[in-house]
């Protein structure tokens, strides 16, 4: 089975400051890793994914994440946040060759203050 | 291309009733997955359907069931509602729902159905 731990439930930050949202995972088999964003009253939108290859993954809206196999981590970063980045962020994994099942972390609420 | 649509968006039911939620996937997508989102348990996988067959199932009681039609539209049903079933129910569609080495069919999520059980 897979599990995901998001280390911070809430992260407040000022506009234009850098931010890192932390994610650790546990799995005995190969997995793919994802970050999703959820704005109020909306579904989930994929920010970025790691399937294989380069461990630094770039996504939409200026976000990037680094896969670290030895530390089983997949932290999300953005060098300069905007007010519009205020949302809830979910780290997720899925087992390679699985059917539809994503396992999510508990979420991190990012609040960007002016 | 239209996104994933879910109906209704909001629903209020009372304990003991049953409810049916609907999900229309993106055109051409044949896999539909369902998730329950609650403040306490977070996002949890319910089940996945492909070509009218359930291929994967999460750890939910038998009161939660689903089906998929030949046009890939899916419904989920919850019988004998409990207060704890109050949640946002999300569905997601993908081309095939499967992933292989180095490839992945992205899941696209709908806006969800907010179910409140009184």
Sign of the dihedral defined by the CA atoms of residues B73, A98, B54, B96, in that order: positive
- Partners of A73 in the β-ladder: A24, A68
User: Which of B45, B102, B103 is nearest residue A101 as measured by Cβ atoms?
Assistant: B45
Convert the pLDDT of each residue in B88-97 to its tens digit: 999 999 988 7
Per-residue pLDDT, averaged over B9-13, amounts to 97
Name chain A contacts of B104, Cβ cutoff 8 Å: 32, 49, 51, 94
pLDDT given at position B100: 65
Per-residue pLDDT, averaged over A38-59, amounts to 91
Rounded Cα distance, A16 and B64, in Å: 45
CB within 8 Å: B58 and A41: no
User: Longest C-alpha distance within chain A, in Å?
Assistant: 43
Which stretch, A38-42, B18-22, B40-44, has highest mean pLDDT? B18-22
Residue in B99, B102, B111 to test binding to A, most A beta-carbons within 10 Å: B99
Percent share of chain A, pLDDT over 90: 79
- What are the b/e assignments for A18-50, b being 16+ CB within 10 Å? ebebbbbbebeeebbbbbbbbeeeebbebbbbb
Long-range contacts of B54-59 (CB under 8 A, 24+ apart): B55/A99, B55/A100, B55/B97, B56/A98, B56/A99, B56/A100, B56/A101, B58/A101
DSSP state string for chain A: --EEEES-SEEEEETT--EEE-EEEE-SS-EEEEEEEE-TT--EEEEEEE-SS-SEEE-GGG-EEEEETTTTEEEEEESS--GGG-EEEEEEEEETT-BS--EE---EEEEEE-
Per-residue pLDDT, averaged over A40-63, amounts to 92
User: Which of A43, A45, A101 is nearest residue B56 as measured by Cβ atoms?
Assistant: A101
Residue with tokens 């994503």: A102
Residues 6 or more apart in contact with residue A92 via CB below 8 angstroms:
A4, A33, A34, A35, A36, A102, A103, A104, A105, B43
* Chain B residue closest in CA terms to A1: B58
CB within 8 Å: B42 and A104: yes
Name chain B contacts of A101, Cβ cutoff 8 Å: 33, 45, 48, 56, 58
Convert the pLDDT of each residue in A9-45 to its tens digit: 999 999 999 999 999 999 988 889 999 999 988 899 9
| Cβ contact A102:A50 at 8 Å | no
User: Which of B33, B50, B102 is nearest residue A51 as measured by Cβ atoms?
Assistant: B102
Residue B72 touches chain A, beta carbons under 8 Å: no
Name chain A contacts of B48, Cβ cutoff 8 Å: 99-101
CA distance B35 to chain A (A): 9
CA distances from A45 to A29, A59, B17, B55, B100 (A): 25, 11, 32, 24, 22
CA distance A18 to chain B (A): 26
Using DSSP's 3-state secondary structure scheme, residue B74 falls into strand
CB atoms within 10 A of CB B90: 24
């Amino acid at each position: 089975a897979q599990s995901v731990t998001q280390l911070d439930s809430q992260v407040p930050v000022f506009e234009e400051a850098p931010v890192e949202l932390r994610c650790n995972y546990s799995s005995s088999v190969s997995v793919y890793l994802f970050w999703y964003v959820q704005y109020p009253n909306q579904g989930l939108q994929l920010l970025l994914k790691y399937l294989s290859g380069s461990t630094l993954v770039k996504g939409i809206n200026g976000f990037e994440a680094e896969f670290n196999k030895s530390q089983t981590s997949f932290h999300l970063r953005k060098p300069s946040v905007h007010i519009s980045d205020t949302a809830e962020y979910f780290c997720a994994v899925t087992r390679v060759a699985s059917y539809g099942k994503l396992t999510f972390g508990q979420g991190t609420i990012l609040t960007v203050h002016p | 291309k239209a996104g994933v649509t879910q109906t209704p968006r909001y629903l209020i039911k009372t304990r003991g009733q049953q409810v049916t939620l609907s999900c229309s996937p993106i055109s051409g997508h044949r896999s539909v997955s369902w998730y329950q989102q609650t403040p306490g348990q977070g996002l949890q996988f319910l089940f996945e359907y492909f070509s009218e067959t359930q291929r994967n199932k999460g750890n939910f009681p038998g009161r939660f069931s689903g089906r998929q039609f030949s046009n890939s539209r899916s419904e989920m049903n919850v019988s004998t509602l409990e207060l704890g079933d109050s949640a946002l129910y999300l569905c997601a569609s993908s081309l095939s729902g499967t992933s292989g080495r180095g490839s992945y069919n992205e899941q696209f999520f709908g806006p969800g159905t907010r179910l409140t059980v009184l």
